[in-house]
């Protein structure tokens, strides 16, 4: 119990972020027209690709003789990049079509 | 110094994500919003590579591996994203989402191995036990990241397979109990892992494998028509998994981005369910179009239907005042959106008013049809949303249903046994004449018979949407 309380007080800021982001996430897309549902889903998909940063840290911290960590980190970096790059490019492609007409 | 600059970069990146998401929800700014978020992401990644310092102030190494991975991922990502057809968009999003989930799971696994290594070295030392005990919350986050990431990965791959029609719907008796059982095993194992036997390798492996199995079982029984909802849900799962990484590395940008997407994704999922007038619970538990429920709809359908040939159809349309087109997935599969637009222009030249009625879940993702029609240069103002369309059907002479099925099925309004009962539909029956283009009389994607096809007002025009439209264009020209 004490551990949990300690952890909470240690991560107070982070817990604030979580709570505020939940409300913000809901507010921000609250008024999206259904036309944009697909691009929005795709764009949000690209944004959670931010997990790539964790992958880079894992990769960058791996010792040279720790092959397991290197393999895992390398795979994670590739997969994370796919998520980010693929996500943003696909979203842009979709939105490009909307842009053409006025 | 470096850490401070990185903190500012992360702050800016977080702001670009929020602004980007905000701009993405309005047509005029959407593209710019996407670019802004992408810019923030690139800055955050570059900042991490060069400015990250761990607690002891060490910089990252293994630059070769990092840049190699980034390069491979970027090349494959760009190629896949550029080559994919607009109709295959949902599959692509699902696959990219799965990659993100897998990435989160791998991070958790690698973090676990780190802890395991430390524990092994410290075995002689009594103090490691107390170290582990004081990090119970961290262990919980590791398990959570591994679990959610794995579910998201396995689920997304199954969703991808389903949309590609490589994996069939599969449900059996007691499936929900099996799912609950697997979930229970995961929960018990997680509690053991955190409180009783910290860092036990078998438990970790069990949780990882069980999470993958759960991901598969979770998506497998859900019907194709509900797949968008599932993808959106898995999308928000991956967001939460990414946020777990934020806790592990005390990384605020991962936390912000992850939770933001987790929350927005959940709302989007609910919006989609609402468009289909189904509760999320219903989607996840009831296997849509499953054997038992589909039979109910089939009973009273059947009977005789009327066919119309191309020439007659062209004649009727050429002399109509107002035509409303109801595009569905069949149009998208046939890549017929361009021919459709050609027909629209031709009819407009003849003084016919042409509009499109878009059901919120037409195509395979909400808004999917809008993207496809935008690709074919159909102007915005010709697209009617469902409520508007249902008003305008009353004054329409002809409704042309192109490869849509479930969204115009009147059973949704009156047949309580139908699996789509309660879903708002496009009330095409209000028009004077309905022409339905389909490849055959086979039931649609959700596997439900459609009594609309047997109504006296309805005429069937069989054939592939593209072929039929091309012939219609030639016929209308010669009128």
Q: How many CB pairs under 8 A join A and B?
A: 383
Of the listed ranges B158-172, B186-200, B425-439, B463-477, the least confidently predicted one is B158-172
Average pLDDT score over residue span B300-310 = 74
Residue ranges for chain A with pLDDT beneath 70: 1, 3, 99-102
Average pLDDT score over residue span B274-292 = 62
- Decide if B100 and A32 are in contact by the 8 Å CB cutoff: no
pLDDT at position B447, please?
64
Q: How many domains does chain A have?
A: 2
- The model's pLDDT over B58-90, given as tens digits with 9 standing for 90+, comes to 889 899 999 999 999 999 999 999 999 887 888
CA of B149 vs chain A CAs: smallest distance (Å)? 11
Q: The sheet that has B322-327: what strands, in order across it?
A: B306-307, B458-462, B433-438, B398-402, B322-327, B353-357, B383-384
pLDDT above 50: residue B298:
no
Of the listed ranges B26-40, B212-226, B282-296, B396-410, the least confidently predicted one is B282-296
Substitution target from A38, A46, A51 for chain B, most B beta carbons within 10 A: A51
Average pLDDT score over residue span B377-405 = 87
- Decide if B255 and A23 are in contact by the 8 Å CB cutoff: no
Provide the domain limits for residue A52: 34-102
pLDDT at position B299, please?
41
Q: Residue B307 is encoded by which pair of tokens? A: 């066919």
- Decide if B103 and A80 are in contact by the 8 Å CB cutoff: yes
User: Does A26 share its domain with A42?
Assistant: no
Q: Which one of A96-100, B194-198, B351-355 scores highest in mean pLDDT?
A: B351-355
User: Does A23 share its domain with A39?
Assistant: no
pLDDT at position A65, please?
87
User: Does A23 share its domain with A42?
Assistant: no
User: Does A70 share its domain with A38?
Assistant: yes
Band (B289; pLDDT cuts 50, 70, 90): very low
pLDDT at position B295, please?
38
Q: Between B173 and B261, name the one with better pLDDT.
A: B261
pLDDT at position B205, please?
95
- Decide if A45 and B20 are in contact by the 8 Å CB cutoff: no
Band (B292; pLDDT cuts 50, 70, 90): very low
User: Does A13 share its domain with A42?
Assistant: no
Question: How many Cβ atoms are within 10 Å of B305's Cβ, its own excluded?
Answer: 15
CA of B238 vs chain A CAs: smallest distance (Å)? 7
User: Does A87 share its domain with A51?
Assistant: yes
Question: What residues of chain B lie within 8 A of the CB of A24, using their CB?
Answer: 18, 260, 263
pLDDT at position B122, please?
64
Q: Give CA separation, B59 vs A40, B52, B398, in Å.
A: 36, 6, 68
- The model's pLDDT over B129-138, given as tens digits with 9 standing for 90+, comes to 666 666 788 8
User: Does A69 share its domain with A51?
Assistant: yes
- Chain length of chain B: 479
User: Does A18 share its domain with A44?
Assistant: no
Question: For B52, which residue in chain A has the nearest alpha carbon?
Answer: A57
pLDDT above 50: residue B327:
yes
pLDDT at position B214, please?
94
pLDDT at position B444, please?
61
- The model's pLDDT over B32-62, given as tens digits with 9 standing for 90+, comes to 999 999 999 999 999 999 999 988 888 898 9
User: Does A27 share its domain with A42?
Assistant: no
User: Does A6 share its domain with A45?
Assistant: no
Average pLDDT score over residue span B186-195 = 92
* Class of domain B296-477 as given by CATH: alpha beta
- The model's pLDDT over B218-272, given as tens digits with 9 standing for 90+, comes to 998 887 667 888 999 999 999 999 999 999 998 999 999 999 999 999 998 888 7
Catalytic residues of B: 406
Cβ A60 vs Cβ B49: under 8 Å: yes
pLDDT above 90: residue B215:
yes
User: Does A42 share its domain with A87?
Assistant: yes
| Average per-residue pLDDT for chain B | 86
Provide the residue ranges of all domains of chain B, joining segments of one domain with +.
1-83, 87-285, 296-477
pLDDT at position B165, please?
79
pLDDT above 50: residue B288:
no
């Amino acid at each position: 119990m004490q551990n949990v309380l300690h952890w909470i007080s240690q991560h107070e800021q982070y817990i604030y972020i979580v709570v505020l982001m939940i409300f913000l996430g809901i507010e921000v897309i609250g008024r999206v027209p259904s036309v944009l549902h697909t691009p929005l889903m795709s764009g949000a998909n690209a944004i959670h690709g931010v997990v790539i940063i964790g992958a880079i840290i894992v990769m960058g911290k791996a010792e040279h003789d720790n092959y397991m960590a290197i393999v895992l980190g390398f795979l994670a970096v590739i997969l994370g990049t796919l998520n980010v790059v693929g996500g943003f490019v696909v979203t842009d492609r979709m939105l490009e079509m909307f842009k053409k007409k006025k | 110094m470096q850490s401070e600059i990185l903190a500012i970069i992360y702050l800016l990146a977080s702001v670009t994500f929020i602004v980007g998401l905000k701009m993405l929800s309005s047509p005029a700014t959407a593209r710019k919003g996407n670019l802004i978020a992408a810019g923030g992401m690139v800055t955050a990644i570059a900042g991490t590579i060069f400015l990250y310092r761990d607690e002891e102030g060490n910089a990252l190494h293994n630059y070769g591996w990092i840049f190699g991975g980034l390069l491979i991922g970027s090349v494959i990502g760009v190629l896949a994203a550029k080559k994919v057809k607009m109709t295959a968009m949902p599959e692509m999003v699902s696959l990219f989402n799965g990659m993100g989930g897998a990435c989160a799971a791998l991070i958790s696994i690698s973090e676990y191995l780190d802890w395991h290594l430390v524990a092994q070295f410290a075995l002689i030392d009594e103090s490691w036990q107390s170290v582990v005990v004081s990090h119970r919350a961290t262990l919980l986050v590791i398990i959570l990241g591994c679990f959610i990431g794995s579910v998201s990965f396995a689920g997304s791959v199954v969703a991808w397979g389903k949309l590609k029609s490589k994996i069939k719907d599969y449900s059996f008796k007691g499936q929900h109990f099996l799912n609950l059982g697997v979930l229970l095993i995961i929960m018990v194992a997680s509690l053991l892992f955190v409180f009783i036997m910290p860092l036990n390798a078998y438990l970790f492996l069990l949780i990882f494998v069980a999470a993958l199995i759960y991901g598969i079982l979770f998506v497998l029984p859900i019907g194709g028509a509900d797949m968008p909802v599932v993808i959106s849900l898995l999308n928000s799962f991956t967001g939460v998994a990414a946020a777990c990484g934020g806790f592990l590395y005390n990384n605020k940008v991962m936390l912000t981005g992850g939770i933001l997407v987790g929350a927005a994704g959940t709302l989007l999922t609910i919006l989609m369910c609402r468009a289909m007038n189904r509760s999320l619970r219903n989607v996840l538990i009831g296997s849509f179009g499953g054997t038992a429920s589909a039979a109910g709809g089939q009973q009273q359908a059947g009977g005789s239907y009327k066919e119309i040939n191309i020439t007659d159809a062209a004649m009727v349309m050429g002399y109509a005042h107002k035509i409303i087109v109801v595009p569905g997935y069949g149009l998208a599969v046939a890549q017929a959106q361009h021919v459709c637009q050609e027909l629209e222009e031709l009819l407009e030249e003849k003084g016919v008013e042409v509009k499109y009625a878009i059901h919120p879940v037409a195509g395979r993702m909400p808004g999917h049809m809008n993207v496809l029609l935008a690709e074919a240069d159909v102007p915005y103002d010709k697209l009617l949303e469902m409520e508007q369309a249902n008003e305008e059907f009353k004054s329409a002479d002809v409704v042309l249903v192109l490869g849509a099925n479930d969204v115009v099925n009147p059973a949704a309004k009156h047949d309580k046994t139908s699996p789509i009962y309660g879903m708002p539909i496009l009330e095409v029956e209000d028009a004077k004449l309905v022409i339905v283009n389909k490849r055959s009389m086979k039931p649609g994607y959700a596997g439900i018979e459609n009594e609309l096809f047997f109504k006296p007002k309805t005429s069937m025009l069989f054939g592939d949407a593209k072929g039929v439209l091309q012939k219609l264009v030639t016929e209308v020209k010669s009128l």
